[in-house]
Amino acid sequence: MHLGPDLLILGVLFVIAYVLGRLGKSIGLPAIPIYMVVGLLASPYFAWFPLEFAHGEYIELIAVFGLILLLFNLGLEFDQDEFFSNAGKLLISGGSYILINMVVGFGFGFLVGWGTREALVIAGITATSSSAIVTKLLIELNRLANRETPMILGVTVVEDVFIAIYLAIVSVVLSGETEIWLVVGKLGISFVFLVVMFSVARWGGKVVSRLFRTKDDELFTILFFGLAIMFGGLGEILGVTDAIGAFLIGLVLGATRYRNKIEHIAIPLRDVFGAFFFLNFGLGLDPTAFPAVIVPVVLAVVMTMTLNAIGGQFVAWLNGFGPQAGINTAAILQNRGEFALILATLALAAGLDERIQPFAGLYVLIMAIIGPILAVNSERIGSFVLGTERKARAKAAASAASGAAGAAGAEAAAAAVAAGAAGGGKTQRNLEADEAIALMEAATAGPAGRVVAGDGDGDGDDDDLSVGRSGDRVAAADDDEIAPDVYGDYDDYDADRGSDPEAVVPAGGVAAPEREGAERDRLIEQAMLQSDEHDPRSRARDDEY
């Protein structure tokens, strides 16, 4: 047995995968499409880089190990406490998302001209996102603390449960059995297997933990790896696929006290063997078959993006979140990955339409590229769609304009005070200048909608009341007396409030105002009083304070 050429080829492929992976990471792409592209480049159908393995069956076996470890880790990471503590809400949220995608996806399978079994596979391929890609994106984008993140993870948890049940059903349907009782019998066996394993995972964690009482990491690794392979084979024998058998034993081991230790060892194994699975899938793709499925793939991509936009908003609404959370949810759940490829592998083994494999491969490639790009830019997309960015810019512009007007008003007031001081203090006032200053102060005194409360004496005026912050009722000075707390700081400023510009302040006090146009004078009076020293916003605007 001469394996040297095969080993050399595999080594070259993994080095190429590393280089392309580094480039992909720099633009935010996950590893799955990179491995598939490397396999595609090395496929015997590709004329640019043709490589052929002398012992392809060994690559197939390693790829099966990768599939088993992918689903084993999926079960291991399943959060049972989170699921059962909030099962009702999670089932409604995740179930509605899956239902929307499954129903339309099933109809899409018929629309493109495939049969019932093919349509069932297409529905599964387009309905569920990749839990691995979703979780990784949430971590890399620093969104674990976002309000919608628990909802997103809840949807992926429900998807994991759905995958287990769906694969069990699909494997029976794809088996080709025509006898109704044989089909019912296989479904019954699959259901019992699922129920038993879920029950052990839920209530048998302490018992299973006793099997792992060893401090030897080598023996520990051999044990859990052996259990994953063994239950994968058991699942295949019982008709629920090796992937679901591995998922269920991972679910059981995830309920033990050794979960973290198993994860620490299993994740590197999953990454290496999982790379074999995706690379092997790419090796099986025929690029010449892509033109025959390009139209269905494009339609499926558009359908998926549309349904995810609807489903994301609906799930966000169910959980009391706003439109932006719905956009974030839809964008990050766009990713498709390992589950779609598993279904395509099952369809190929069952002898279904041969176009399903290139359809699934091209579809996953496109979605695995589009998904991360949408996830990274979901906040910008939300700002554009919802107009929040335009509103923020408009608000900032309005604030800047208000600040500029306030600064101009302050400068005008300071100039008027200086002019009054230079002219000898308590002499005649220029009413027009006062009115201009007062109106400018009113325009910049605060938000619109400030109201003036009447004094309650029934005469319609406000001779006993002025305006405070936010419309508070505060006492004002009488018409024949200037409040010292308002004008006391202006030693050289003429405090005369009269409407007659020729009025002269007598030595004994302030001249009483002669009201002409009472309403207009009242508004000017209130506007000027809004600039008093009791208003902190006035102090912030006016350098005199």
Same domain, 141 and 272: yes
Task: Report how far residue 76's alpha carbon sits from residue 254's, in angstroms, rounded to the nearest whole number.
Answer: 4
Q: How confident is the model at residue 498 (pLDDT cuts 50, 70, 90)?
A: very low
Q: What is the average pLDDT across 212-224?
A: 85
Tokens of 81: 């406490």
Task: Report how far residue 468's alpha carbon sits from residue 531's, in angstroms, rounded to the nearest whole number.
Answer: 10
pLDDT of residue 49: 60
- Is 359:157 a contact under the CB 8 Å cutoff? no
Q: How confident is the model at residue 15 (pLDDT cuts 50, 70, 90)?
A: very high
Same domain, 350 and 412: no
Three-state SS string over 126-164 comes to HHCCCHHHHHHHHHHCCCCCCCCHHHHHHHHHHHHHHHH
Same domain, 308 and 446: no
Q: What is the CATH number of the domain that holds 150?
A: 1.20.1530.20
**Does residue 370 sit within a domain?**
yes
pLDDT of residue 482: 42
Query: Angle, nearest 10°, between helix axes 87-111 and 116-127?
Result: 130
Residue from 14, 60, 49, 6 nearest 34 by CA: 14
Same domain, 305 and 358: yes
Domain with 495 in it:
403-541
Task: Report how far residue 245's alpha carbon sits from residue 233's, in angstroms, rounded to the nearest whole number.
Answer: 7
**Does residue 91 sit within a domain?**
yes
pLDDT in tens, 515-527: 445 655 665 555 5
Examine the fold and report which residue of 337, 361, 389 is the final residue of a domain before the chain moves on.
Answer: 389
Tokens of 30: 């996950």
**Does residue 292 sit within a domain?**
no
Same domain, 151 and 265: yes
pLDDT of residue 306: 94
Same domain, 86 and 223: yes
**Does residue 395 sit within a domain?**
no
Task: Report how far residue 330's alpha carbon sits from residue 134's, in angstroms, rounded to the nearest whole number.
Answer: 11
Task: Report how far residue 280's alpha carbon sits from residue 223's, in angstroms, rounded to the nearest whole number.
Answer: 27
**Does residue 344 sit within a domain?**
yes
Same domain, 385 and 494: no
Tokens of 77: 């990471």
Same domain, 375 and 432: no
Same domain, 430 and 313: no
Strands 465-467 and 473-475 turn out to be antiparallel
Half-sphere exposure (CA, 13 Å, Cβ side) for 491? Answer: 0
Reading phi first (left if > 0) and then psi (alpha if -120 to 50, else beta), residue 128 is in beta
Q: Is the pLDDT of residue 359 over 50?
A: yes
Q: Is the pLDDT of residue 391 over 80?
A: no
Tokens of 104: 């339309």
Percent of the chain with pLDDT over 90: 16
**Does residue 396 sit within a domain?**
no
**Does residue 394 sit within a domain?**
no
Q: How confident is the model at residue 286 (pLDDT cuts 50, 70, 90)?
A: confident
pLDDT of residue 518: 62
> How confident is the prediction for the chain on average, in pLDDT?
75
Q: Is the pLDDT of residue 313 over 90?
A: yes
Tokens of 371: 């998904």
Same domain, 358 and 478: no
Number of domains present in the structure of the chain: 2
**Does residue 111 sit within a domain?**
yes
Q: Of 128-142, 400-414, 475-489, where does mean pLDDT reach its minimum?
A: 475-489
DSSP H/E element including 466: strand 465-467
Q: What is the average pLDDT across 434-445?
A: 54
Examine the fold and report which residue of 334, 366, 389 is the final residue of a domain before the chain moves on.
Answer: 389
Three-state SS string over 103-119 comes to HHHHHHHHHCCCCHHHH
Same domain, 437 and 305: no
Q: What is the average pLDDT across 200-216?
A: 82
pLDDT of residue 493: 40
- Is 312:374 a contact under the CB 8 Å cutoff? no
Examine the fold and report which residue of 389, 417, 445 is the final residue of a domain before the chain moves on.
Answer: 389
Same domain, 370 and 458: no
pLDDT in tens, 55-112: 667 788 888 898 899 889 888 888 777 777 777 888 888 888 999 999 999 999 999 8
